[in-house]
A = this chain, B = another copy of it.
C-alpha cells in the first residue's frame, strides 16, 4: 500500500528526448487515481520553468507544486543563511541565483556546470573552501546518461573539492535526507508509506532508504546490470516506471 509516489525524471520518465515506453500512460494513470505524485530531480542544467516546459512537451502534465528540484533547495538553503555564493553552475541557470550578492563570496555552490568545470573555476571553489567557506552541492550523482554516453556528473567534482580542501559538502538534493523530507512533507503520507522510483541506485534508492522511504530501482536510464548489488538494504528492481506504477497502485 502506497500513499505517495515520488518519481525521478531523467532516466525514469525519459532518456534525452525519448520518452520511456509506456511512461506517459503510467503517469497519467497514477495521476487519475488520485494518489499524490511528486517529481523530484537533481537536474541542474535547466531552469525550473524550462524543465516544466520540457515535461509538458514530452507529454507529462506536472503542476508547479509537484516538482521538487535540488536547485530550489540550494536557493532556499543559501537564503536562510544570507550567504553570498560563488555559483559554479551551468551557464543556463546562472539567472536562478540573481537574488544573491555574489561578490566577495562566503559560500560555494556546485551544480552540474558541464563545460564550466574547468581548472580555474574548480580552483576558485577549492580556495574558498580551504579558507572556510561552506560547500554546498546539489547532489552526489556520479554520472548520467546522455544519448549513448555516460557523462561525469556533479558528485565527482564535489568529491574533488572535498578532498582537496579537506571539507565535507552539504548535499541539498538527493540523496540528502532533508530533501526527501521536504518532498514527503508536501504530501500527507508517512515516509514508510511512500515509494521512490529512480534509476540511480545511490541518489534515488540509497537516499530514499536512508530517509525511511521504500524505493524501487528501474532498469532504464543510467541503470547498468549489477547496480542493485552496489547498495545494501531492501528495495525492488523493476523493468521500468510502468511496472513501478503498477506496484504503487496494486
Question: Which A positions have Cβ atoms within 8 angstroms of B?
Answer: 114-120, 122-123, 126-127, 130, 142-143, 149-153, 155-157, 159-161, 163-166, 230
Contacts and interface: CB of A to CB of B under 8 A. Distances in A.
B150 A160 contact: no
Contacts of A122: 117, 152, 156
A127 B130 CA distance: 30
Contact of A155 (B118, B130, B163): B163
A119 B127 contact: no
Given A118-B118, A130-B150, A150-B130, A142 B123 contact: no
B166 A152 contact: no
Copies of this protein, total: 2
Contact of A164 (B115, B119, B123, B143): B143
Candidate in A142, A150, A153, A163 with the most chain B CB atoms within 10 angstroms: A163
Nearest to A151: B123
Candidate in A118, A127, A156, A157 with the most chain B CB atoms within 10 angstroms: A156
Contacts of A114: 119
A153 B122 CA distance: 11
Contact of A143 (B117, B126, B152): B126
Contacts of A150: 126-127, 130
Given A118-B119, A126-B150, A143-B164, 10 more contacts: A115-B119, A122-B152, A122-B156, A126-B156, A127-B149, A130-B143, A142-B163, A142-B165, A156-B160, A166-B230
A155 B161 CA distance: 10
A116 B165 CA distance: 20
B117 A119 contact: yes
A159 B161 CA distance: 9
B152 A156 contact: no
Contacts of A115: 118-120
A160 B152 contact: yes
